Structure 1
Amino acid sequence: MARDFDREWLIHSANLSVIGSAADNNTTEGSSMKRYCILALASGLSLTGGPALADDLAAPTAGQQASQPAGDSGRSTGLLANSSFEFATGADYSIGRYGATLDTSVWSIPLDAKAQLGRLRLQASLPYEFIKGPGQLVGGVVILNARNNTVTSRSGVGDLNLSAAYLAVREQGALPSIELAGGVKVPTAPTSIGTGKADYALSANLYKSIAPKLTLLGSIGYSWLGSPAAYTLKNGVTASGGFNFRPVSSQNYGVSVAYRDPVAIGLTGQAVVSPYATFRFARRLGLTLYGTAGLNSASPRVGGGVRLSLFR
């Protein structure tokens, strides 16, 4: 994906949390307090979903709440019951050396769309990228091309990320909610920004409420990366975990930790920790804020972003 590897997941889990508030407006207060808004990692391509437009193929866009993820309040019986839609945009930023001696910075302005159709979630995200440095976007992470270690500035439309996820199991007793997801990166970016090849991913996402206002979430997935002519990329495992705290129906706070196997020979896996907060200002408007800190030298040093979401 043309984003830092856990950004989609984070935005997805955070923003989808906001969506849960919209559904709550149509339920009793008792039902509202039971709903937990979390749908993470829609695609392991970028350790996304979640968040997800959040990134989640989350994140980014992005959420949901109670013993079921949003869009499934327990009243629905058909595939299209309790449908909702979200459109979001904002800005993402990250900077890091990724094991090199020079920084690579990435600004991204995404256009995100999500449809929640009962248990089925469909997402699409298309960013406009601004990159400065020797790094290149590969599978949602930044790596260095050994043939080009010079600092350059380039910009353009990024890769189109598409994902689908289905809530296969609702939470019952000790059993968590289980969501099965898949995604594809369509290579719409020029090769100066992306690889020019398609990527694919599958993941399983789990959500478990442990208190009236607290939910644990996790994901495990695998991604297949298309290799350009200049270098060979490696397929690998993606994983994430975190929690979401919802003190009131209009606010969510959480932290996620995400990991991705090395995308090329000689590199180490990337790992980041990301706190986030979401706020619902009106029935149709939501705001997500997040930060990112790398846990090793192969990860972005720092980063952050904002999303403004419109619901209908």
Structure 2
Amino acid sequence: MNTEIALWLAQDGATSGAIYALLALALLLVFAVTRVIFVPQGEFVVYAALTLGTLQLGRVPATAWLLLGAGATVAAVEAAAAWRERAWPRLPRIALAYLVLPAAVAGVAAWAAPRAPGLALQMALTAALVVPLGPLLYRLAYQPLAQGSVLVLFIVSMAVHYAMMGLALVMFGAEGLRTSAIAGASFALGPVSVGAQSLWVLGASLASMAALALYFGRSYGGKALRATAVNRVGARLVGIPPARAGRAAFTLAAAIGALSGILISPIVTVYYDTGLMIGLKGFVGAILGGMASYPLAALGALGVGLLEAFSSFWASQLKEVIVFTFILPVLLWRSLAARAHAVEHEEEDE
């Protein structure tokens, strides 16, 4: 390996690591707020990439009909709850949020798809179709079991993952899609040519992380999510509804997944079952961050991307094995550290 090859691999690893960092932040956010190990995070990446690819083919994406169906299902559930509680004023809001708005988004997508809109409008439509699936999914699958154990919520996540993967196969087929590049230019940086697409990925990822930092540090909604992550019972006592916090966390996770899917779709061919592997690599980054620190999770995910890139050069057939083996010493170290911490507390109690 010479310097030029090393720089090429570093560029590729940094691009992949930026995507994994976004997914790691989403997984960490959802787990901190809801205790859900969000296995289907990668499915939002797949849905966004394939939705954008379908729009570029001039066809109406099946996610429009999925959004209508999910919205109607949640509307029925919420309307039944309002009927039992005799909360009649909630019914118009339920109809607007879960029937009218999804129908409007699906209608715009059906109208615009055959007319080949510009790339910016295609990306906006993709986000409008995919992001609302996050809170709808939380309401249907997770909110009824919000008080369950982490193991129960993990089993639900696995079931949701397989259901969403099966739906992706039905909606988009087994053939993969790759979208048009956001920018096709390239810039010479020493012996390496840096693609504008890679710069788009890195820039969008950094901008998203900065926006998340501002949201959590400056906005009331972000501070409420932080409070829920630190102490769910205390947050409930001061008037922060757990269900609302859960919906907000899933909305942010879906938005991050949609952005990641839009960014990677011009770089790799995305298939209906690509989500699990992408999500797992983001999960590795979150594990390296201890499932507690956002900066460490982002750095860990960047390390995963670099490790994957260099492993593909030295041992391409074993790159996945190398990446996932990398977390074993980290898990062992954290296990020993947690056991030592527990022993110290037992000695203090005595």
TM-score (norm 1): 0.27
Larger Rg: 2
- Work out which structure has the larger RCO, using CA pairs closer than 8 Å and 6 or more positions apart in sequence: 2
Greater fraction strand: 1
TM-score (norm 2): 0.25
